[in-house]
Amino acid sequence: MSTAVEQAIADLPVPGGWRWDVVVRPRRRTLGIEIAEDGRVLFAIPADADPQEIADAVRGRMPRLAAEVRRRQDLRAAEPVKDLIGGEGFAYLGRRYRLRLTPDDASSHVRLRQGWLELPRPRSAAADAGSLVEWYRSRGERWLAARLPPLASLAGVRDPAGIAVRDLGRRWGACAPDGVIIVHWAVIQLPVALVDLVLVHELCHLKHSGHGAAFRRAVRLALPDADLRERQFAQEEPRLWRGAVSSARQ
């Protein structure tokens, strides 16, 4: 039924920038609409929902929905900007570290040391930001490679093809055609429980391509507290640093 409803909604003039999903909730008697902090729209429908009736209801609410989605997307568009100066805060797996600028020499590199995130200087802001992003990418890839197998077992996925960390733009995770799980480097800033949520989400996509009822059941079978984690993720996501820096120095 959710597939028919998804098609009925897709046939509407839904704004191209929207991200939306349909989920069947047997206890519901009418259409429910939820808008996440990032602007994603969730249409919750009864098990016996009539696709045309749902589409008509969505059409009637479209102007108000569009205004709220734009509002939340605009709030999210204001990405954090870091000043690459001593004492600036950076997160790694949910813990906060202050930046320490160190003398630049041939052996220096970005590293965690004695509670500080050390960054060699002086260079351009863009180059220093690139070094920090690469540190998140490479360190995160090693950490995630060890984290993936037990989570794959929880999700019922045998021998996942591997893990890669890169910049995914506005997406936090993806599945490559060869089965490799791809994670945005910025995710490594989150607490472990929320990193696990991203990994399990993508692992379940290896079995279920959409976000329908079967997919959501699979996620909740692996992570019974997925609803709580998703709410926490929505709160933390706007705070994630994605590489924007100020040119200011100190």
Assign 70 to helix, strand or coil: helix
pLDDT tens, residue by residue, 188-231? 999 999 999 999 999 999 998 878 888 999 999 999 999 999 99
Note down pLDDT in tens along the chain; length 250 residues.
Answer: 567 888 888 888 888 778 888 988 888 888 999 887 667 898 999 999 999 999 999 999 998 888 888 877 776 666 788 999 999 999 999 999 999 998 876 557 899 999 999 998 767 888 889 999 999 999 999 999 999 999 999 999 988 889 999 998 878 999 888 889 999 999 999 999 999 999 999 999 999 887 888 899 999 999 999 999 999 998 898 889 999 888 654 4
Q: Could you tell me the residue range of the domain that residue 226 belongs to?
A: 83-245
Count up the domains in the chain and report the number: 2
Residues 187 and 126 in one domain: yes
Please state the pTM of the whole predicted model: 0.70
Give residue 76's pLDDT. Answer: 61
d(CA 35, CA 206): 26
d(CA 132, CA 214): 38
Residue 102 belongs to a domain with what CATH number? 3.30.2010.10
Using the 3D structure, point to which of 58, 77, 96 is the last residue of a domain. 77
Give residue 250's pLDDT. Answer: 43
